[in-house]
Amino acid sequence: MLVGKTLDKRYEILECIGGGGMAEVYRAQDMLLDRPVAVKVLRSQFTGDDQFVRRFRHEAQAAARVSHPHIVNIYDVGKDGDVYYIVMEYIQGETLKEYIQRNKKLPVEEAVSIALQICEALDHAHQNNLIHCDIKPHNILMGKGGRVKVTDFGIARAVTSATLTQTGTIIGSVHYISPEQAKGGLASVHSDIYSLGVVLYEMLTGDVPFSGESPIAIALKHLQEEIVPPAQLNPDIPPMLEAVILKAVAKEPAKRYPAITSMMHDLEVVQGTLREGDTRRLAKGDFPTQILPPIGPTSKPVEQEPKPKKGRRGLWAAVLLLLLASFTVAFMVFGQFWSLEDVIVPDVAGQPVAVAQEKLLAAGLKVSIGYGYSANVPPNHVISQSPEAGSSVKQSRTINLTVSKGTEAILIPDLRGLQLRDAEIQLKNAGLALGKVDEQYTSDVPQGAVVNQNPRAASQGSKGMMVDVTVSKGPAPRKFVLPDFRGSTLASVRTQLDSLKLKLGNVQEEANDQFPAGVIIAQNPEAGSQVEEGGTINFTVSKGVGAGLKRASVRFQVPEGAKRQDVQIVITDSNGRRTVYDDAHKPGDVIDRTVEGTGTMRIQVYINGTLYKDQTV
């Protein structure tokens, strides 16, 4: 236990707050910057494995380049004696595992919200070519206000180098491990998607999909058994959300989501459905199973039982009655026709159908109504009449009116994914027109293709209607939260700036009695600011106390060995111990540096973590 000790005369270890098979996590105080931090320390049984330590340092440095609101920030990576440690942002709260155990099943809306925040973190990591490899509720921290933070980036890849039989290596993770990882294959973005699917399953059901007597038994279930559909354990899970989970935990990586952004999109659709009151979900009774006869051109009505034929006498009687009725009607009609006066047909075009009927009936005319579409005449108004207005007709003549049903309804086509020119052609073919064109950055839609449209696809529109679209401008310049570089040396920060694709701007020196020479005491923009790739960062660096300042020259040649060797120069003086140079070199490179310090200054050179040179000035 390290409680009560101070690492590198800076990080005071206060209490152990967690741990796993590979490392222990402590709450500590950064005495230089006077802030709480979390320090993750590699367990002692792994510090003797040079290959593992190298991978640990490499992955920790890779994790330091990831900066996102839903990812725990990495502040520092170091070694004090035989203690390898990573200094991280301290999050006051509990893990998602503890939150699930305390609340059992989480509400659907809350589980989807948490999963979306994890998706955002993984999307940022995947864009930086970093696979988490160990997504599980234990590595998700629940901060204030429901803010989710993903941790353990970097160490996860180092963990995969250990074998399955090592004690504690996969016990904490085997419930969430992907099939390809379980059988020793390489992890990919699909592995993170699988693990996130298991985490979402546990949030909604209160339990993991597979359990067993040993880690190997559970790993085999991931490879061989299908999960119990989550809706069987929690009927509140919507079918759409269950489909997302089942796709994420498919056994074969190719059958899962192709990217975390695709899963995030489906979860956003589910979230939108829930916010709309879930009106798009159908109850089981909405469409009960029925057996219906086929309906189509070949369908025939059920034949009626034939009635008995009437006698020939009855048939002749019916014919005579029909003829008599016809003569009577003809006489009455034609007699009346010749006796009626002529009338002029009123003009009722464009008038409401009720008003038109009233005018025609008042003129002694009859009315017949038909309907049609019109873009110019409002619904229930007369489009045209026949005979035309002003015609002279006999009283009781029928006037045929065509009444407007309004503009013809047109189904709005789905333009998403189409290039702008193709979308415009499709609109024209549908009788619609292209309206306002906006642009926005997006990473999952090709440049020039339609991202959104208004009105939305499959809604009803009218002929000639304008459809507004939003077109992709391609991926946006990456934005991220700027880390806090204060307390680090300028030499160590240069590498981090390169990995973040930032530029080193102006560097000013300032005398300071609290910070050793060469340590960054201020930065512009400030830590926590939103910056874009390619931005410039300016620094103010401490010159030390001034009095008693010493300078010494350090010159040596990198010895024979690996093609790439880590070289560090460490200074210990009256201001404490600090690393003033940290870079990689090939054998034969000559290092010539001037270092500064106060009082008695001890200069130590480490190559690949081993002391190579030690002198006191």
Is the Cα dihedral 579, 581, 587, 589 positive or negative?
negative
Quickly tell me which residue has 């002279």 as its tokens.
392
Sequence-ordered list of residues with C-beta below 8 angstroms from that of 12, at least 6 positions apart, any chain: 5, 6, 28, 29, 31
CB-side exposure of 615: number of CA atoms within 13 Å? 10
Neighbours of 204 (CB within 10 A): 26
Instruction: Report the alpha-carbon distance of residue 524 to residue 502 in Å, rounded.
Output: 12
The answer to whether the CB of 360 falls within 8 A of the CB of 347 is no
Whole-number Å distance between alpha carbons of 186 and 201: 24
Find out whether 140 and 148 touch, Cβ atoms under 8 Å. Answer: yes
Tokens of 145: 């206000």
Residues 109-112: contacts with CB within 8 Å, 24+ apart?
Answer: 109/271, 109/274, 110/203, 111/200, 111/203, 111/204, 112/241, 112/267, 112/270, 112/271, 112/274
Give catalytic residues, as residue numbers.
134
Written as one string, the DSSP assignment of 322-385 is HHHHHHHHHHHHHHHHHHPPEEEPP--TTSBHHHHHHHHHHTT-EEEEEEE--SSS-TTBEEEE
Q: Which residues of 276-306 are buried (b: 16+ CB within 10 A; e: fewer)?
A: eeeeeeeeeeeeeeeeeeeeeeeeeeeeeee
Q: Rounded to an integer, what distance in angstroms lies between the CA atom of residue 189 and that of residue 195?
A: 10
- CB burial class (10 A; 0-12, 13-18, 19+) of residue 110? middle
Place of tokens 């590198």: 8
- The kind and range of the H/E element at 63 are helix 50-64
Q: Give me the numbers of helices (H) and strands (E) for the chain, helices first please.
A: 14, 30
For residue 74, give every residue at least 6 positions away whose Cβ sits within 8 Å of its Cβ, in sequence order, or none: 60, 63, 64, 66, 86, 87, 88, 89, 153, 154, 483
- SS3 state at 66: coil
d(CA 615, CA 251): 59
DSSP per residue over 281-312, as a string? ---TTSS--------STT--PPPPPPPPPPPH
DSSP H stretches of helix in 172-212: 179-182, 189-205
